[in-house]
């Protein structure tokens, strides 16, 4: 008896799942424990195993489509069994989504038999095709309808590559660079492209072997998460049904391959005198070709084991991976194996090849050259005549001719026109990082009721302690490290600050994970120091410095910026005295740290010079009250004014 397969609930917060990939197709035999598909939940992409046995009779959800929990996604049963009964029993939604595969095929066979009889007549009299076509017209008109049905898509030897969700806040990604072009051979561990997310630029791996048949978004263009970006499959495969299913015009891949034949047709159009240049032009691609073929033989024949990053570096530097030995497990080549390796000489030969092509053009130049000296010759004859009749005063009028110098004010007259009533500006597209910053911080500021608490802290003792520590330690401690450590200890004492607003409940976090705001060229990143209360000042300093370096080099991973419970933003190094920061959701608070200012302070009844640092705590009033925020700042102040307590 046929049984329906429903979308399972794979996490406590899951409401729907996306069919990332089907591992089986209609007609395959399924055993209990076989992986039917990969399902992307709100947490991760997981394998969906079958708990039934039988033949896969029906697939109701194409790859990339989201399905609510408990919705029918497939039907298993005996081979040849009618699965419509099971769909009807599952409900009207399941039966409406059903697209029976055998029915359209049967209609196609019947329709093909009728025009088959008229085929000889059409071949015998091609001129009379206009009359029988009214009968044959409906057949091709119905054929596209059969192709549009997502029935035989699983049988196409090609895999759709979609934009992955590389971070929890990512909604779309920008193709920063394609590492391959249409027609290239792809291995499962090759890095297809570099994708710019809202956090960093990361590699996208195809996880499939085959030929790159289609590229969707071009470099610099954005694609939504789960949107199609490429297709990999068997060379020569017709991918039109896959593109039609996504609503994409099938002409886009052909336009990328079109320039190749055009470039060849331009070579014979060159005039006969450039016969020498033609072989030179042919020699240039001949020199370039071995560079590509050598890479193909290395990946196809010998199959060099190398990481995607190592392959990209080798390709950019022109290094032959066959000549290297990998230091990783199984002889795999990694980045460090390429350090200090000189590039191969093949790219040099390729770059030298274009020079002979330019040689014919100067050959044609000498012909007009003799004509040019004839023109200056009479001028030179007139030159001796001029000095004879006129003495040296003759050149004096020349300075008078220089009188046009007053014309130089003309540009001055033009200059005001550039500024009168003309507004100049430059517009740049918004980066993915800036989009997310704008969206999340706007939601935070206009959703969470902010209030602010500011306090001044005497940093004299902190300055003295830092000086002594840095004199005796190889790790240099910064004032920001003191602030991080003080906040970590104070958060343990005031758990209400270390909390999150979740709508219908408040989460009090036991782990102290402090996010450190790091400014980069594109915006702001917040890597997270986990369990900061359990780490020493030296360990905190080393980790914060490492995060800052990797953030600016765009080397942070998603795990580095997820899971903060409290955030610190420090602008003191820019000379800022004090400022207020916007809460980084889902945190309940963020601490804005200003610079240390030398100001007069009162100590023991006397006015003396002091070093004061102002800090401002931004609080979500839904979670934290004013007294709670003030008590937290008092704890931070006490720790920083007596920094010996931070060493314990």
Note the pLDDT of residue 265.
Answer: 40
Note the pLDDT of residue 374.
Answer: 42
pLDDT at 463 over 90: yes
Q: Which residues pair with 185 in a beta bridge?
A: 211
Note the pLDDT of residue 411.
Answer: 55
Q: pLDDT: is 448 or 269 the higher one? A: 448
Region class of 236: left (phi > 0), else alpha (psi between -120 and 50), else beta: left
Question: With bands split at pLDDT 50, 70 and 90, how would you rate the model's confidence at 130?
Answer: very low
Out of 101-105, 207-211, 307-311, 562-566, the most confident range is: 562-566
CATH code for the domain in which residue 84 is found: 2.40.50.100
- Domain end, chosen from 316, 338, 359, is at 359
pLDDT at 96 over 60: no
pLDDT at 590 over 70: yes
Question: With bands split at pLDDT 50, 70 and 90, how would you rate the model's confidence at 408?
Answer: low
Where does 353-420 have alpha helices with state H? 354-358, 360-364, 371-374, 376-385, 397-401, 409-419
Question: With bands split at pLDDT 50, 70 and 90, how would you rate the model's confidence at 262?
Answer: very low
The values of phi and psi at residue 195, to 5°, are -115, 130
Note the pLDDT of residue 378.
Answer: 40
Note the pLDDT of residue 44.
Answer: 65
Residue 452 falls inside a structural domain: yes
Residue 416 falls inside a structural domain: no
| Dihedral sign from CA coordinates of 201, 207, 212, 217 | negative
Gap between the Cα atoms of 326 and 336, Å rounded: 9
Question: Which structural domain range is residue 96 located in?
Answer: 3-101
Residue 439 falls inside a structural domain: yes
CATH code for the domain in which residue 465 is found: 3.30.559.10
Q: pLDDT: is 605 or 13 the higher one? A: 605
Gap between the Cα atoms of 66 and 76, Å rounded: 21
Worst-scoring range by mean pLDDT, 13-17, 217-221, 537-541?
13-17
Q: What is the mean pLDDT of residues 75-94?
A: 77
What 3-state class would DSSP assign to 269? coil
Question: With bands split at pLDDT 50, 70 and 90, how would you rate the model's confidence at 412?
Answer: low
523 and 597 both lie in a single domain: yes
The DSSP H or E segment spanning 480 is: helix 479-493
Residue 186 falls inside a structural domain: yes
pLDDT at 18 over 90: no
> In the 8-state DSSP scheme, what is residue 533?
G
453 and 573 both lie in a single domain: yes
8 and 89 both lie in a single domain: yes
Of 640, 593, 481, nearest to 547 by C-alpha is 481
Worst-scoring range by mean pLDDT, 41-45, 56-60, 228-232, 547-551?
41-45
CATH code for the domain in which residue 325 is found: 4.10.320.10
Worst-scoring range by mean pLDDT, 42-56, 342-356, 409-423?
342-356
Region class of 209: left (phi > 0), else alpha (psi between -120 and 50), else beta: beta
Gap between the Cα atoms of 382 and 392, Å rounded: 16
139 and 162 both lie in a single domain: no
- Domain end, chosen from 101, 119, 135, is at 101
Gap between the Cα atoms of 210 and 232, Å rounded: 6
> Based on the structure, what is the number of domains in the chain?
5
Interval 417-436: pLDDT, tens: 555 567 788 998 887 778 88
Gap between the Cα atoms of 531 and 534, Å rounded: 6
pLDDT at 494 over 50: yes
User: How long is the chain?
Assistant: 648
Written as one string, the DSSP assignment of 119-177 is HHHHHH-GGGGGTTHHHHTHHHHHHHHHHHSTTSGGGSSEEEEE----STT-SEEEEEE
Note the pLDDT of residue 440.
Answer: 87
Which whole-number Å values give the CA distances from 299 to 10, 193, 194, 306, in the listed order?
A: 38, 18, 20, 10
Structural contact between residues 300 and 306, judged by C-beta atoms closer than 8 angstroms: no
Worst-scoring range by mean pLDDT, 15-19, 595-599, 609-613?
15-19
Of 149, 159, 152, 219, nearest to 186 by C-alpha is 159
Which whole-number Å values give the CA distances from 439 to 202, 280, 523, 524, 633, in the listed order?
A: 22, 56, 13, 13, 29
31 and 96 both lie in a single domain: yes
Gap between the Cα atoms of 83 and 98, Å rounded: 10
Residue 581 falls inside a structural domain: yes
Q: What proportion of the chain, given as a percentage, has pLDDT over 70?
A: 67
Q: What is the mean pLDDT of residues 573-599?
A: 93
Gap between the Cα atoms of 428 and 435, Å rounded: 13
474 and 533 both lie in a single domain: yes
Gap between the Cα atoms of 64 and 387, Å rounded: 88
What 3-state class would DSSP assign to 378? helix
* pTM of the predicted protein model: 0.45
Question: With bands split at pLDDT 50, 70 and 90, how would you rate the model's confidence at 174?
Answer: confident
What 3-state class would DSSP assign to 185? strand
> In the 8-state DSSP scheme, what is residue 306?
B
450 and 556 both lie in a single domain: yes
Mean of all residue pLDDT scores within the chain: 74
Q: What is the mean pLDDT of residues 344-372?
A: 43
242 and 312 both lie in a single domain: no
Residue 472 falls inside a structural domain: yes
Q: Which residues pair with 502 in a beta bridge?
A: none
Note the pLDDT of residue 486.
Answer: 96
21 and 123 both lie in a single domain: no
What 3-state class would DSSP assign to 394? coil
Q: Please, is 386 exposed, middle or buried when counting C-beta atoms within 10 Å of its C-beta (0-12, 13-18, 19+)?
A: exposed
pLDDT at 556 over 90: no
Question: Which residues are annotated as catalytic?
Answer: 621, 625
Note the pLDDT of residue 249.
Answer: 58
pLDDT at 456 over 90: yes
To the nearest 5 percent, what fractions of the chain are helix, strand and coil? 40, 20, 35
Q: Which residues pair with 515 in a beta bridge?
A: 528, 567
337 and 477 both lie in a single domain: no
Question: With bands split at pLDDT 50, 70 and 90, how would you rate the model's confidence at 410?
Answer: low
Note the pLDDT of residue 307.
Answer: 73
169 and 93 both lie in a single domain: no
Q: What is the mean pLDDT of residues 531-542?
A: 92
144 and 113 both lie in a single domain: yes
Q: What proportion of the chain, given as a percentage, has pLDDT over 90?
A: 24
CA torsion, points 262, 264, 267, 268, in degrees to nearest 10? -100
Structural contact between residues 594 and 580, judged by C-beta atoms closer than 8 angstroms: no
Residue 633 falls inside a structural domain: yes
Gap between the Cα atoms of 405 and 394, Å rounded: 20
Rg of the chain taking only CA atoms, in angstroms: 36
Residue 418 falls inside a structural domain: no
């Amino acid at each position: 008896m046929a049984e329906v397969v429903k979308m399972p609930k794979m996490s406590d917060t899951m409401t729907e799942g996306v069919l990332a990939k089907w591992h089986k197709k209609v007609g395959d035999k399924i055993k209990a424990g076989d992986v039917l598909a990969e399902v992307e939940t709100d947490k991760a992409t997981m394998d969906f195993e079958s708990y039934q046995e039988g033949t896969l009779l029906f697939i109701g959800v194409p790859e990339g489509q989201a399905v609510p929990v408990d919705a029918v996604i497939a039907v298993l049963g005996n081979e040849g069994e009618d699965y419509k009964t099971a769909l009807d029993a599952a409900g009207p939604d399941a039966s409406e989504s059903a697209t029976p595969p055998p029915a359209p095929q049967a209609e196609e066979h019947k329709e093909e038999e009728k025009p088959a009889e008229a085929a000889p007549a059409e071949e015998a009299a091609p001129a009379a095709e206009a009359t029988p076509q009214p009968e044959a017209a409906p057949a091709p008109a119905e054929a596209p309808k059969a192709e549009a049905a997502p029935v035989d898509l699983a049988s196409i030897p090609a895999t759709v590559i979609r934009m992955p969700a590389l971070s929890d806040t990512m909604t779309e990604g920008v193709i920063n660079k394609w590492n391959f072009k249409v027609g290239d051979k792809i291995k499962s561990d090759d890095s297809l492209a570099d994708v710019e997310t809202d956090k960093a630029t990361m590699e996208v791996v195809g996880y499939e072997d085959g030929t790159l048949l289609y590229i969707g978004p071009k470099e610099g263009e954005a694609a939504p998460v789960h949107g199609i970006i490429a297709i990999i499959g068997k060379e020569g495969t017709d991918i039109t049904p896959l593109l039609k299913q996504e609503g994409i015009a099938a002409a886009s891949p052909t336009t990328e391959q079109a320039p190749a034949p055009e470039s060849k047709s331009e070579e014979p159009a060159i005039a006969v005198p450039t016969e020498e240049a033609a072989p030179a032009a042919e020699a240039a691609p001949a020199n370039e070709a071995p560079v590509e073929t050598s890479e193909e033989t290395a990946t196809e024949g010998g199959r060099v084991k190398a990481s995607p990053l190592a392959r990209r570096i080798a390709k950019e530097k022109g290094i032959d991976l066959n000549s290297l030995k990998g230091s990783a497990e199984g002889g795999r080549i990694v980045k460090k194996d390429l350090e200090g390796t000189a590039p191969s000489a093949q790219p040099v030969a390729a770059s030298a090849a274009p020079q002979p092509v330019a040689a014919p053009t100067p050959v044609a130049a000498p012909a007009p050259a003799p004509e040019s000296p004839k023109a200056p010759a009479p001028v030179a004859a007139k030159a001796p005549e001029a000095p004879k009749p006129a003495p040296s005063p003759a050149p004096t009028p020349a300075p008078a001719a220089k009188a046009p110098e007053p014309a130089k004010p003309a540009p001055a007259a033009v200059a005001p026109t550039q500024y009168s009533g003309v507004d100049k500006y430059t517009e740049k597209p918004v980066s993915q990082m800036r989009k997310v910053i704008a969206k999340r911080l706007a939601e935070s500021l206009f959703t969470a009721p902010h209030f602010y608490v500011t306090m001044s802290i005497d940093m004299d003792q902190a300055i003295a302690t830092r000086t002594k520590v840095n004199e005796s330690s190889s790790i240099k401690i910064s004032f920001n490290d003191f602030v991080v450590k003080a906040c970590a200890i104070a958060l343990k004492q005031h758990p209400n600050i270390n909390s999150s607003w979740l709508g219908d409940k408040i989460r009090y976090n036991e782990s102290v994970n402090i996010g450190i705001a790091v400014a980069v060229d594109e915006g702001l990143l917040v890597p997270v120091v986990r369990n900061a209360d359990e780490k020493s000042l030296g360990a905190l300093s080393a980790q914060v410095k490492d995060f800052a370096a990797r953030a600016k080099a765009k080397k942070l991973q998603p795990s580095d910026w997820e899971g903060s419970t409290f955030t610190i933003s420090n602008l003191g190094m820019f000379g800022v005295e004090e400022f207020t920061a916007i809460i980084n959701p889902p945190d309940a608070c963020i601490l804005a740290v200003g610079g240390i200012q030398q100001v007069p302070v009162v100590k023991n009844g006397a006015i003396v010079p002091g070093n004061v640092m102002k800090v401002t705590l931004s609080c979500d009033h839904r979670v934290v009250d004013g007294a709670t925020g003030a008590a937290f700042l008092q704890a931070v102040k006490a720790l920083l004014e007596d920094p010996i307590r931070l060493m314990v």
